[in-house]
Structure 1
C-alpha cells in the first residue's frame, strides 16, 4: 500500500499584517501508516487545518519536514486530494463537468472519461449530471466535491471539516459513505474535525492536539469494529476520554449573571 505520511519536527509560523509573528505549529511529530483513517481534533484555531494544508502542499513549513512514501512533499499533487468544508464547486459548470474537471486539467480526460460516470454512481448522483450546484442540496454538493477529488485516484484524501455545515442526518449518512469509500479504495484518510463523536465513529486513530501553538498531545487507537454503535459503552468511554484530554468533560463555569 502507498500513502504513508511522515511529519517530523514541523514548525509553522505566520507574520500578520501588523508585523507580529504567530506560531501555529510548534514541533509536530506524526507518522501515519498507509491506509489509516486518522482524525485530527483539538481546540478551534489550534493549527489542525494548517497541518492539513502542509500535507496538501499548499503551504511550506518554517522548519521540519513532511514526506509521503519517503519522498519530500514539495507543492501540490493530485495524489494528495483535499476536500474543504465548502465543496467549492464551479457554479458555471454542471455536476458532470465539475467532477471531470481534474481529468481535463491533467489532459487525461479522453483516456479516462469513463471514470466520470463511475464516480458519479459511487456518490449516488446518477441522474443529476446536468444539474448545477445551486440546484442541489448541501449533502449532494459535498458528495460531488468528494467525487471531484476521488476521480484523480489520490493516495491520500485530506478532509478539512467537509461535513461541518450539514444537518445531523445528512452528516451521519455521509460519515457512512466515507467509511465505505475508505474500505473500498484503501486510501489514507486524514480528517480535521471538531466533532468528537465523528472522530470516534470514523477513525482508526485519533490525534489530539494542544491549543496553539499546536503539538501532538495524545494519540488514541480506536479498537472498535465497523460499523460502530454510537451508544455502545466502548464508544462512549472513548468519547469521554477525549473530552477529558480536551478538558471539556463535565466542565461547567459560572456565567456571572442570572436569568
Structure 2
C-alpha cells in the first residue's frame, strides 16, 4: 500500500474515531453516568474527607466526559487505521468493509473484552489508591498479552489454512487463543478491593455500561471506517462500473 493511501486512511480513521466517540458519549452519558453518580453518593456517605472539587460534577459528566471519549476515539481511530493498512490483503480476501469489521471486532475482543474479564473496571469508592500502580500495570499487561496472543492466533490460522482449510484453521486458531488467554488469566494475580457493603446492583450496572460503551465505540468505528476506507481503496464499486459500461455502450450505439 502506497503512502498516499496510508495517509488517506489515517485521516479517515481519525474521523471515524470522532464519529464513534460521539456515539459512545451518548451511551456513556445516558447509561454510564447514573451508576457513577450512585457510586459517588456511596463514597460521600462513607468518607470523612469532602474536599473542594476543581470541576463540578456537571462539568465532569458533560464537557469532561465528551473530551475524554473523543480524544480516545481519535487516538484509537488513528492506531486502528494504521493496523488496518498492515492487515489489508494479509488476513484473507476480504473487501474494505469486511476487513474493517474484522479489525474492529478483533480490537474489541483483544483490547477490551479479554482484559475486562480479568480486570473489570470499578466505580469510584471501590478501589484502594495505594494499589493504583499495581492495578494499572496488570491491566496493561493483560492488554499486551491479549493483543500478542491475538496476532499469534491470526498467524497460526493463516499457516494452517492451506492444509486444513479456512474453517478448520479458524477453529484451531480461535481455540488456541482462548486456551492461551485462559492460562494467562489463571497465572496473573487477581485484585479484589470492593467493600462488602457496596451495592452489587451499582457495580453490575457500572460494568455493563463500561463494556457497552466500548462495544458501541468499536462497532461504530468499524461501520464508519469501513465505509470511508471503501471509498479510498475501492473508488469504483461494481454498480458504478456496470453503469459506466452501459453508458459507454449506449453512446457507441448512438
TM-score normalised by structure 1 residue count: 0.23
Structure with the bigger RCO (C-alpha within 8 Å, sep 6+) is 2
Q: What is the TM-score normalised by the length of structure 2?
A: 0.23
Bigger radius of gyration: 2
Select the structure that is richer in helix. 2
